[in-house]
């Protein structure tokens, strides 16, 4: 289990005419973190800096994006760690206001706006889980619904056709129980690793 955020959060501060905008988002993979970074860069294409830090599956990366070394990326990363956050990215966009802030002023501004974004977010517990796609016959539907309810398995979606396709989500702990049950009722299983909210 780990701490993350429920959904995106933003915050903004003005420091000596420079505008700082922090965007905190969920990133469940390095690729996703990089995509979020690119979309923020595109959104604020006219800004001077888009400094960032992210932690995904305990992998860490940060950048000062042209600011003096150690004034943005490292403090942002330290802040994420202080809140024990994982699978998140924080990007702070800066529009330069013409007044130099100095290294101490920059560290303070980047940290303050990022902290504000984290405080605006809802921090939740998450865990690594599994998503299953199963195919069952109509006469086993009630049995599966009862099994899911009893074992705290979330039914995400039903697709009706010749048979019923159901998408389920569960914690990894009950993986064997699910697979055993699905084998008994002779359903087809497709599974993938996901992250679920506790």
Going residue by residue through the chain, which has 198 residues, state the pLDDT in tens, using 9 for 90 and above.
Answer: 789 999 999 999 999 999 999 999 999 889 999 999 999 999 999 998 999 999 998 899 999 999 999 999 999 999 999 999 999 999 999 999 888 898 999 999 999 999 999 999 999 988 778 888 888 889 889 988 999 899 888 888 899 998 898 888 888 777 777 778 777 766 666 666 656 665
SS (H, E, C) 71-107: CCHHHHHHHHHHCCECCEEEEEEEECCCCCCHHHHHH
Q: Which residues contact 96 (CB under 8 A, 6 or more apart)?
A: 18, 48, 49
3-state secondary structure of 197: strand
By the 10 Å C-beta count (0-12 exposed, 13-18 middle, 19+ buried), 191 is classed as: middle
| Alpha-carbon distance values, 152 to 43, 157, 172, 178 (Å) | 40, 15, 12, 11
* Per-residue pLDDT, 187: 64
First to last CA, the chain: 8
The model scores a pTM over 0.85: no
Domains of the chain in start order, with CATH, are: 2-121 (3.30.230.30), 127-197 (3.30.70.240)
| Spatial contact of 35 and 66, defined as CB atoms under 8 Å apart | no
Question: Is the Cα dihedral 151, 153, 158, 162 positive or negative?
Answer: negative
- Tell me 113's DSSP state: H
Mode of pairing for the β-strands spanning 164-171 and 88-95: unpaired
- Tell me 187's DSSP state: -
Copy the structure tokens of residue 198: 């506790």
């Amino acid at each position: 289990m780990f701490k993350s955020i429920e959904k995106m959060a933003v915050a903004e501060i003005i420091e000596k005419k420079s505008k700082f905008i922090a965007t905190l988002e969920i990133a469940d993979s390095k690729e996703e973190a990089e995509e979020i970074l690119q979309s923020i860069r595109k959104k604020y294409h006219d800004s001077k800096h888009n400094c960032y830090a992210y932690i995904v599956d305990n992998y860490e990366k940060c950048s000062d994006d042209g600011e003096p070394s150690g004034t943005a990326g490292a403090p942002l990363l330290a802040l994420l760690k202080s809140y024990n956050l994982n699978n998140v990215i924080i990007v702070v966009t800066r529009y330069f206001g013409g007044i130099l802030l100095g290294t101490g002023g920059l560290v303070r501004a980047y940290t303050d706006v990022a902290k504000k974004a984290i405080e605006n977010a809802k921090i939740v517990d998450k865990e690594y889980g599994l998503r299953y796609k199963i195919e069952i016959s109509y006469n086993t539907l009630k049995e599966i619904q009862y099994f899911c309810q009893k074992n705290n398995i979330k039914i995400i979606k039903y697709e009706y056709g010749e048979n019923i396709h159901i998408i389920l989500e569960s914690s990894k702990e009950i993986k064997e129980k699910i697979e055993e049950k699905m084998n008994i009722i002779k359903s087809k299983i497709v599974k993938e690793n996901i992250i679920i909210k506790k």
